[in-house]
Amino acid sequence: MNRAFLHTATAKTFSGSLTHTTTQTIHTMNPYLQNVFSQLNSLILGKETVLQHLMACILADGHVLLEDVPGVGKTTLAHGLAAVLGLGYRRVQFTNDMLPADLLGINVFQPADGQFKFHPGPIFHHFLLADEINRASPKMQSALLEAMEEKQVSVDGKTYRLPKPFFVIATQNPIEQLGTFPLPESQLDRFMMRLSLGYPSAEAERRLYAQGDRRQLLPALKAVCNAEILLQWQAQAAQVKCSQQAADYVYRLVQSPRQPGLFVTGLSPRAGLAVVKAAKAWAFLASRDYVLPEDVKAVWIAVAGHRLQTLQPQSIPQLLEQMLLQVAVS
């Protein structure tokens, strides 16, 4: 795989005062990813933007928290995404009586040779759907989130590397509270993005009822790539150029929530780095090798929203949207 498909501008710029050969949007899709979105859009109707954010997160080597009510297609989406990307997939239904060993694996004694043999748990897959993570105990949540951060697990004093790439979609129902353990802010920060499928549009829902359950389409999905190719795409996305002007714009955005009066705490430098990585991946989706303001704006709310808590009952997405309007691009 090479970088020949990446568009190179004659004058790579960031602010509107400079020029570049074309102003590409996400609709000018990277040709290697067109088939990915074509299949996913036929599986999950009317959710093109969410799918683009999800793919950008994967390309940026991040993890996603999906907050949604039951029955809107989270499991179908995860299963379909793993199939299209050619990745090993496992779904784990979290409950409050699960132990870390149920996820990470366990050493089992082998009487024949008098030794312990490690039996890896479901986390040893490229793609893990952690369903209803807020139903797991804090100890279980901590084990998963440590694995997400370190890309390895430790069992009985021995460290085991997780497969590459390794990606987690964790789901939680934002309404149900009984028997749940909400993720603290320090653990929410480990997720690059928080997304929501939401209810389908009227047109998409009518199509769904006419055509039937979308899960029947899963066996027909074709793998577009595999783990090795996806790693190459991730490396290429990481090489997308973020100019000093782009970095300064991200800095100003990250500084905005730190002003007193709106949020309990501001955004950390880790959040700023996540914005940069996600913006690079968004540019990669659009076949560009440089970051534009539109890339930063496209990922800003998805990356920043779950990391903030308001002092007063206010809509965090609306506040972040206002910051995009108020913060100067250059």
Instruction: Read off the pLDDT band of 187 (50, 70, 90).
Output: confident
Which residue shows structure tokens 């997400």? 148
Instruction: Read off the pLDDT band of 32 (50, 70, 90).
Output: confident
Beta-sheet pairing, 167-172 with 127-131? parallel
Task: Average the pLDDT over 138-145 and give the result.
Answer: 88
What span, in angstroms and rounded, lies between the C-alpha atoms of 206 and 208? 5
Q: 184 by DSSP, 3-state: which?
A: coil
The number of C-alpha atoms within 13 Å of 243 and in the hemisphere containing its C-beta is: 18
Q: Is the pLDDT of residue 8 over 60?
A: no
Give the residue from 113, 187, 97, 184 showing the smallest Cα distance to 143.
187
Count of beta carbons in the 10 Å neighbourhood of residue 93: 12
Average pLDDT in the chain: 88
Instruction: Read off the pLDDT band of 69 (50, 70, 90).
Output: confident
Which residues, 6+ apart, have CB-to-CB distance to 284 below 8 Å? 6, 30, 56, 59, 233, 236, 237, 240
Kindly list the domain boundaries of the chain, sorted by start residue: 32-239
Task: Average the pLDDT over 1-16 and give the result.
Answer: 38
Q: What is the pLDDT of residue 25?
A: 39
Q: What is the DSSP letter of 221?
A: -
Q: Is the pLDDT of residue 277 over 80?
A: yes
Helices 269-285 + 244-255 axis angle, to 10: 130
Task: Average the pLDDT over 49-59 and give the result.
Answer: 96
Higher-confidence position of 146 and 236: 236
Q: What is the pLDDT of residue 27?
A: 58
**Third-level CATH fold of 32-239:** Rossmann fold (3.40.50)
Task: Average the pLDDT over 100-125 and give the result.
Answer: 92
Instruction: Read off the pLDDT band of 65 (50, 70, 90).
Output: very high
Query: What share of the chain has pLDDT > 90, as a percent?
Result: 68
Q: Is the pLDDT of residue 19 over 70?
A: no
What span, in angstroms and rounded, lies between the C-alpha atoms of 60 and 58? 5
List the single range of 12-16, 150-154, 191-195, 244-248 with lowest mean pLDDT. 12-16
Q: What is the pLDDT of residue 196?
A: 93
* pTM for this entry: 0.88
Backbone angles phi, psi at 290, to 5 degrees: -150, 155
What span, in angstroms and rounded, lies between the C-alpha atoms of 115 and 24? 59
Q: Is the pLDDT of residue 21 over 90?
A: no
Count of beta carbons in the 10 Å neighbourhood of residue 147: 23
List the single range of 15-19, 37-41, 244-248, 273-277 with lowest mean pLDDT. 15-19
Q: Is the pLDDT of residue 124 over 90?
A: yes
